[in-house]
Structure 1
């Protein structure tokens, strides 16, 4: 099966597709740094650096195989945490129409659209219904489901909605996941990685010890050193706050005198200053620098490599751009192991 990815980001969904045996021939991403990350890790894929709205032709080698078009249009507008532009008046919330236009150009056998679960309820289901109706009108049979990455071997509780549509009238049945009763924990994912300090900027460090969990072994492969051990430099005040927060807890553990610069600290979002719990999967990492997500046993933020581990990117995967850009790419990506499960299910049809 030949894959074409739009709104590709750094390539998490594309990696999952390749894991499932799909030949991803072409990817489109307008952010130059995310596109650079994609190309560096997917050397056999042609990466087009442009806005999908500017592209009217897709050139790739047609091998007589089925074609699958997939991707995740920008999702901030659909997120429940976005209270400012979460409506049909935000033009970015209509970028899914580019999927419909691209379908007319490519005429794929399968379509996979990935997004935040908030898409289902946004505007009383208007957008989800619109997407499914448009797919029907184009001759496709769509189905959708919210999947939690943690049930597919990803050490993170991350819900995503997938819309899968077939041109051949197949009523797609979603995978259930083989990790429902044996979630991968933060300790499984991170505890073989190097010990780091606040503000560490080491490109390569030896692993702390041999990989003990099956997950760590899968992520490491044959590597001897962990790369991209980049940690944001937090102020002394922020580090002092970290010291008071117990595993699984958030800013509520911080003494009032350390929160005096907040106009009203009681209005802080529950996801701010959260320390990961080592014996459970991680919370959603998203913009983990901005939310001050804390390492379970060390008083610092997460490194790029640690965040990538929690997303199920292998340690060979490298991200490009500034530190902020690397962090954003990791946080926004589709967990490859989650995507792999969806694509493997499609390959069975």
Structure 2
């Protein structure tokens, strides 16, 4: 099966597609750093760096294979955490129309659209209904479900909504995760990685130990060196705040006198200054730098590699750009193991 990806980002969905056995021929991404990351890790894919609105034709060899068109239109407007733009007036919320236009150009056998769960309720379901209506008008059969990444072996509580549509009238039965009620924990994901300091910028280090779990072993592969051990440099004031927070807790553990620079610290979001629990999956890491997500046992933020581990990226996957850009690419990505489960099920229907 051949894959074409829109709004490709750094390649989380494509990584899952390749894991499932899909040959991703073409990807469209407007952000140059994310596109460079994609190309560096998917060397057999042609990556077009351009705004999707400028794309008038998709050229790739089909060779008689079925084609799957997949991607996630920008989701800032749908996100529960983005209250200011969660309306129909946000132009980014209409980029799904470009996805629909691309369907008409590509004429794929399958379509996979992913987004944040807020899409389901935004404007009383207007956008979700509009997408599904457009797919039906193109004679596709849309199927919708919210899946949680922890059920599919990702050590992170992260829900995504998926719209899977078949051109051949197939009512798609979404996969059931193998890790329901037995999730991978933070310690299983991270505790073979090296000890780091606040502000670490070590491009290469040795692993701390042998792989501590099957999960870590699967992502390490044959690698002997850990790359991209990059951690945001926080001020002494922030590191001092970190030291007061117990695993699983947040800013509420910080003494009041250390929060005096906040106009009203009692209004902080629950995700701010959250220390991960080593014996549980991670909370969502979408904006892990800005929310100051804390390592479970060290008084610092997460490294790029640690965040990638919590997203289920293999350790050979490297991100390109400034530290902020690397962190954003990791946080914005669809967890590859979650994507893999979707694509694997589609392939089963096509065999």
TM-score of the pair, normalised by structure 1: 1.00
Match of 1:60 in 2: 60
SS at match of 1:348: helix
Q: Is 1:38 aligned to residue 34 of structure 2?
A: no
Structure-2 separation of matches of 1:229 and 1:269: 28
Match of 1:199 in 2: 199
Residue deviations 1:192-248, cap 9 Å, x none? Answer: 000000000000000001002000000101111110000000000000000000000
Q: Is 1:133 aligned to residue 136 of structure 2?
A: no
Match of 1:99 in 2: 99
Q: Is 1:143 aligned to residue 143 of structure 2?
A: yes
Structure-1 separation of matches of 2:118 and 2:185: 25
Match of 2:260 in 1: 260
Residue deviations 1:122-158, cap 9 Å, x none? Answer: 0000000010000000010000000000000000000
Structure-1 separation of matches of 2:97 and 2:142: 15
1:261 Cα deviation from its structure 2 partner: 0.2
Match of 2:283 in 1: 283
Residue deviations 1:321-348, cap 9 Å, x none? Answer: 0000000000000000000000001001
Match of 1:295 in 2: 295
Match of 1:234 in 2: 234
Match of 1:171 in 2: 171
Task: Tell which deviates more after alignment, 57-66 or 249-258.
Answer: 57-66
Match of 1:225 in 2: 225
Structure-1 separation of matches of 2:39 and 2:83: 34
Match of 1:70 in 2: 70
Q: Is 1:188 aligned to residue 195 of structure 2?
A: no
Match of 1:348 in 2: 348
- For structure 2, list consecutive stretches of 5 or more residues without a partner in the other structure: none
1:181 Cα deviation from its structure 2 partner: 2.3
Structure-1 separation of matches of 2:269 and 2:246: 17
TM-score of the pair, normalised by structure 2: 0.99
Count matched residues.
349
Q: Is 1:3 aligned to residue 23 of structure 2?
A: no
Match of 1:211 in 2: 211
- For structure 1, list consecutive stretches of 5 or more residues without a partner in the other structure: none
Structure-2 separation of matches of 1:301 and 1:133: 43
Q: Could you say what the CA RMSD is over the residues aligned between the two structures, in angstroms?
A: 0.4
1:59 Cα deviation from its structure 2 partner: 1.1
Match of 1:274 in 2: 274
Q: Is 1:83 aligned to residue 50 of structure 2?
A: no
